[in-house]
Amino acid sequence: MTGALRYEWRRISSIRATWILAACAVVLSGAFAFLFGAAITSATGSDSEVEGLDVSLASGVSLSTTNLIVLILLGTIAAQAFGQEYRHGTIRLTLTEFPKRTTVFIAKVAVCCVVILATFVVGTVVAYLILSTNPQVVSESGSTFLTYFLRTCIYLVGFSLIVFAITVLTRILALGVIIPLAFAGVAETLLASLVGNYVSWLPDTLPFLSGSNFVAGNDMVRNGLVFGGWVAVLTVAGYIVFERRDA
């Protein structure tokens, strides 16, 4: 496994796109935090704290869970893990070196998730520092923010696993990014608003709405289970296909 992890790290770190995507994600996290703060100042016209606007909420607006652009960037890093390998045929080199496909799957998921989380941590620190200096954002205890941050990390890992799975299932890098984002950003919202009135249970079963509610701290157990269930089903499906299909 050590060799596979080393291999995957060299794969991901030797591609310029990885660093460009990571840097863009960090810069945009900071930029959105700054713009959000500036927008609040402009809207309220005062320097006093806005009730209910704590750092978690402000970070949530400016960071991954609700910031589609950052999610696209981090999702692309995840999609590249399998997508680029299939696109350029290097998956055959990889699987010749590591005939046990489970090892490759685990190594890719592990290394990519670490890179994505590391990027997210840096982006969060940047955004947090910017937002915490804004006089209108209410300060909160470190533990409150840490809880919110950990939930976001869990969501991000789950989102990345869904991207991995869809990329493996379709073998197309672009679809690995587009399908989850289309569902997270558009399809689920439409489904919930259009069909939700007639099928009341439907919104509660949608993966990304449940994931967002989990991050927001709403009915965390149920939403966490729904989101986790989707992640598990898709990941297992992706793994089985990766294991059984011709490379």
The residues binding other proteins (CB under 8 A) are 3-4, 6-7, 9-11, 14-17, 84, 88-90, 92-93, 95-100, 244-247
CB of 16 to other proteins, least distance (A): 6
Which of 188, 40, 25 is closest to 118 using CA atoms? 25
Q: Which is nearer to other proteins, 84 or 152 (CB)?
A: 84
CB of 89 to other proteins, least distance (A): 4
CB of 236 to other proteins, least distance (A): 18
Q: Two tokens at 97?
A: 């070196």
Cα–Cα dist 136/49, whole Å: 4
Q: Which is nearer to other proteins, 84 or 235 (CB)?
A: 84
CB of 140 to other proteins, least distance (A): 43
CB of 70 to other proteins, least distance (A): 23
Q: Which is nearer to other proteins, 190 or 243 (CB)?
A: 243
CB under 8 Å to 157, separation ≥6 — which residues?
113, 116, 117
CB of 153 to other proteins, least distance (A): 27
Q: Which is nearer to other proteins, 2 or 200 (CB)?
A: 2
Q: Which is nearer to other proteins, 92 or 222 (CB)?
A: 92
Q: Which is nearer to other proteins, 175 or 247 (CB)?
A: 247
